[in-house]
Structure 1
Amino acid sequence: MKRIAVLTSGGDAAGMNAAIRAVVRTGIHLGLEVMGVQCGYAGLIAGNWRPLSARDVGGILPVGGTMLGSSRCLEFTTEQGPRAAIAQLEQAKIDGLLVIGGNGSQTGAFALSQLGFPVVGVASTIDNDLYGSDITIGVDTALNIALESIDRLRSTATAHHRAFLVEVMGRNCGYLALMSAIAGGAEAVCLPEYEIDPEQLAAELADAYDRGKSHAIVVVAEGASLNATGLMQHFQEHRERLGFDVRATILGHVQRGGNPGAFDRILASRLGAAATEEIASGNHGLLVGLIENQITITPLPDVVANEKSIDPRLYALAQILAK
């Protein structure tokens, strides 16, 4: 193997640049030429390459987002998309590809692998819903951004004796919401995995008010059946029963931005370097992740065939600590 390429795909995550840097510098250390693919799978199909030297990735370690850009590429979900990508890879004389991204990105990596092209995935998504890694690149930074927001909202909630519904990202996975609720001392949490009836939530808020609490924080996962907007509509119709005046804050994409924290910089560096070593050694068709704080590899067929679940013990802990 002489030349490899690296791309970032799907939603950006703080630490992606650190992973790119690790891929490039590890690749050079192993005697490989490294090419960057601009704009994810769309750029791969278009053959949008740029050579990457050690100096090209200098200074990107602390920067959020991805220097290579990202995109959603519907064409890659068709039968023709992966074949067109492989044609571009072969024309550019690229021997292997590293894909930094989450579920959708690794599904694309699996499609390329099924067609015989050497691919290694790097686990990166703030949703933390990717099978094959306990925690993925970007999660810790996104969690700390959510936590800072909750802490700020608690101050104003206390001052005005209000309840705040704080909606966090995570697609259909409640990990960010659950961990934000535990770390932020929330009075309740709404997850896709453990749906809560709005009437039950209203009763919990009323109970908190009756116990003399001066505020309430409810963390809501964006993938819950009733998100913050839906819950607000329900509570506006029954506001006299809550005790608290209720406000909603949707954090949205602010959780993706900003510089990665120390944990994500180190995680991304470890995973990027390990993925490069794997593909340089001839190992491919796998995802590099972190399980029990050890670098692990998981076959891509297992990654796309399995769903990651929430630890029920953590949900039980959140309920106990909310009282």
Structure 2
Amino acid sequence: MSSPVSVAVGRTDTATPITFSVVVPVYNEEDTIGDCLTRLVAQLDSITEILVVDNNSTDMSRAVVDRMRLRHAQIRVVDETRQGLVHARNAGLDAAVGDIVARIDADTRVPEHWARTVVEFFETDREHRWDALCGRGEAYDVPLEGRFDRWKTRLHPLNRLRRERAVSEIPVLYGSNMVLRRETWAMIRDRVSMRRDIFEDVDMGLCVGDAGGRNAFLRGLTVGVSPRRMETGMRPFVHYMSFLPRTFWLHRRYGLAAGSAAVYVPAVTVAHALRLMMLRTYDHRTGRIDPRNLLRGGPDRVLP
């Protein structure tokens, strides 16, 4: 991994404006897809098209999307009957026409100016130093949501601004907040794995590197992500986290595979146990902790 590199992210004059597609795979997301799309259509000055990939939804997801399509012609629907996120992802990325293509989740909440930040980043990268881009995700509807960022802003406003402009190279991508050049997708299309027992976003990032490309991480590019994975029970969570070393092993990154299996996965499992206890006692509707909620169960998130 190279040393962090600072760049000035700002709009520059280009001969042809960059077009931007956003792909949103959907499987039974009637509770979240409406908010996700509402936030995206508010940024249509920077987004060329929004592709919703319906992956055999059986709830009202499609009806929610269709109602929004009536008001916004930029929303397109792609049907993918092969079940699984990797199939839905590929269908959306294949159908996208933008120069750059984002892939987010149906429960991702993009903030104001997210799309403009993405477009400006790639417009500024005139030398095509970066082939893909990702940012961070912060869980919403959880205790202390956003408070740490507000404290950080008050105490270190200049440092925060500097960090938001800092770009570093990373080996992987983050699925809830990732963008590729369209030619990057063409470069790795036949390299990505179709297995459903690995982290598909980590796999994509590693494929970019294996093909000679570079992934950028932009600290200020932050989206809201659902805490549903955090609320998953211990057994399915550990099963899900086992995907990480398997992904590294698939790419023959044996050191990373061993390190993640021996250190990272056990550590994050302990952290998850503590976090799960806190989340299950927290009522996001009232913003209060109630220990009586500790015994309540919660639906485990469907594996991608």
Q: TM-score, normalised by structure 1?
A: 0.29
For the pair shown, the structure with the greater C-alpha radius of gyration is 1
Q: TM-score, normalised by structure 2?
A: 0.30
Larger RCO, structure (CA 8 Å, separation 6 or more):
1
